[in-house]
Amino acid sequence: MPEALGAIADLDGGEGNRQHLSTPTDRRAEPALRIDLNSDLGESFGNWRLGDDAALLSIVTSANVACGFHAGDPSVLRTACAGAAEHGVAIGAQVGYRDLAGFGRRFIDMSPTDLTNDVLYQIGALEAMAHAAGQRVRYVKPHGALYNAIVYHEEQAAAVAEAVATYDPALPVLGLPGSVWLGRAEQAGLRTVGEAFADRAYTPEGTLVPRREPGAVLHDPQEIARRCLDMVRGEPVAAVDGTPVRIQAESLCVHGDSPGAVGIAREVAERLRGSGVELVPFTGTAP
C-alpha cells in the first residue's frame, strides 16, 4: 500500500473503513455568462460626421452598419466594413426607411412589396462592401422608426421578414423581445435574437420610451453599465416610472450617435468583463 494511503487508512481505522471517508461533491462549474455588444455604425455622410466608428469597433462585438437609406454613403460603408473585419467584429445590415433627411426616424406608410424590395436592396448593397473587406453580412437589424413600427405593425414586420428570408434564410435578425417583428421573423423560419438597449429607458411594458419624452435616453456611463450587468444576469431594471422590468436579451446595443457613446460602450464592456461576462458576437466568431 502506498505510504500516503496507508496513513489515511490508519487514521480512519484501517483500509476496510476507507469507504466512510468523505469525498468532495462532484460539482459542475456553472456556464460563463456571455453577451453580444452591438452598436450602430457607418452613419456619417459625405462631409457630415456622426459618431466615432474606429473607436467603437475596438470595443463592440457586432456592428449594425447603415446601408445608405437612412444614413451612410458608399465610402463610409466600405470603411466601416473594413474596420469591422480588422477587429473581428460581426457585420450586420441596419436597414431602414428611405429617409436621409430624417435619419430614418420618421414613419413611412409604404406598401409591403416596396418595403420588402427596399430591405433587399439595402442588404445587397452592404453585402458588396462586406465582401470587399473579406467578410459578409451576418445578421439584419432594422433602424429607427422602422424598428419601432414593426414592434406592432403586422404588414411591415412581415415585409421585412420576407426580405431577409428571400435574401438568405440563414441570416439571424435582431429585435425587441416580444415584438411582432420577431414573431413574424420566426414564422418565416429565421433565427430571432432579442436585444436590450444600454442607453435607453424602458416603459413598464418593456418597450422603449419614445425619444421625444423626458428621460428616454440615459447618459451616465456608470449607471448604464450597472443596468447592463443586471440585464445580463437576468435581474430586473427600473422602468422610467420605477417599475421593475425584466429584459431578456442575447445582445446589448449602445447607440453610436449618442453623446459620449465611446465612453459608455467602454464602461459597459469593462464592467461586464470585470464581472466575468464574456463578450462574443451572437453570430459566432467571424471566419
Q: The pTM is what? A: 0.86
Q: Say whether 233 sits in a helix, a strand or coil.
A: coil
User: Quick check: 3 pLDDT over 60?
Assistant: no
What's the pLDDT band for 286 if we cut at 50, 70, 90?
low
Would you say how long the chain is, in residues? 287
User: Quick check: 273 pLDDT over 80?
Assistant: yes
Rounded to whole angstroms, the Cα distance separating 194 from 245 reads 15
Give the pLDDT confidence of 91-123 residue by residue, as tens digits. 999 999 999 999 999 999 999 999 999 999 999
Give the pLDDT confidence of 71-90 residue by residue, as tens digits. 999 999 999 999 999 999 99
User: Quick check: 30 pLDDT over 70?
Assistant: no
Question: For the structural domain made of 32-277, what CATH number should be given?
Answer: 3.20.20.370
Q: What is the mean pLDDT of residues 257-268?
A: 92
User: Quick check: 63 pLDDT over 50?
Assistant: yes
What's the pLDDT band for 163 if we cut at 50, 70, 90?
very high
Enumerate residues 6+ apart whose C-beta is below 8 A from 154. 180, 184
pLDDT of residue 39: 97
CB-neighbour burial class of residue 205 (10 A; exposed 0-12, middle 13-18, buried 19+): exposed
Q: Domain residue spans in the chain?
A: 32-277
Give the pLDDT confidence of 113-153 residue by residue, as tens digits. 999 999 999 999 999 999 999 999 999 999 999 999 999 99
Sign of CA dihedral 143, 219, 59, 132: positive
